[in-house]
Structure 1
């Protein structure tokens, strides 16, 4: 009896550890790219889902190569001027944005 209880606790702990999703499950799989100052290309691979990402410089001409929607914002706080960009779609090249959020929010 003394050996069975610790063994059951260890098995339950292993099962729980395997059932909990890892951080990678909360990433927008794929590439998000845009054009920066002087036409320089920029990209991010597997961006975090649900977080507001701010652009440090001029950003325009976004391409959403991820598997989830991306929302572009004109302000740096992901609150104003939203444009939803479906997976695989391009934003107009003239559209400038200051932040982006991935996922269904």
Structure 2
């Protein structure tokens, strides 16, 4: 898993739909949600993570909004840290409204 702050997230998001799914035989602990998950951080700065881990809660350290799920698995963003609070499920290729803030995210069906 790598975190990035790109100059142009739009270029990255264009290739998201082409990301293949993880092999069926991989264990849940070793599986990654192939593709990109992007969001807007403080001061409108774009961020993204490549191949985030499935089944693990990722808590945002700063303001996060406008989630875009470019992975091959569903993502659920939560209004509170540690995957608590109001959930919003984002199927592969879907995005939340740019104004919708979130504090944590989990990938995969849960």
User: What is the TM-score when the length of structure 1 is the normalising length?
Assistant: 0.77
RMSD between aligned residues? 1.8
Whether 2:29 is the aligned partner of 1:55: answer: no
User: Could you say which residue in structure 2 is the equivalent of 1:95?
Assistant: 100
Kindly indicate whether residue 73 of structure 2 is the aligned counterpart of residue 73 of structure 1: no
Q: Distance in 2 between matches of 1:46 and 1:78?
A: 19
- Count of matched residue pairs: 86
Q: Which runs of 4+ in 1 moved over 2 A?
A: 20-25
Task: Find the counterpart in structure 2 of residue 46 from structure 1.
Answer: 51
Shift in Å, 1:22: 6.8
Compute the TM-score of the two structures, normalised by the length of structure 2.
0.73
1:31 aligns with 2:36: yes
Q: Residue in 2 aligned with 1:85? A: 90
- Bigger Rg over Cα: 1
Structure with more of its chain in strand, by fraction = 2
Mark the runs of 5 or more structure 1 residues left unpaired by the alignment.
1-19
Larger helix share, 1 or 2: 1
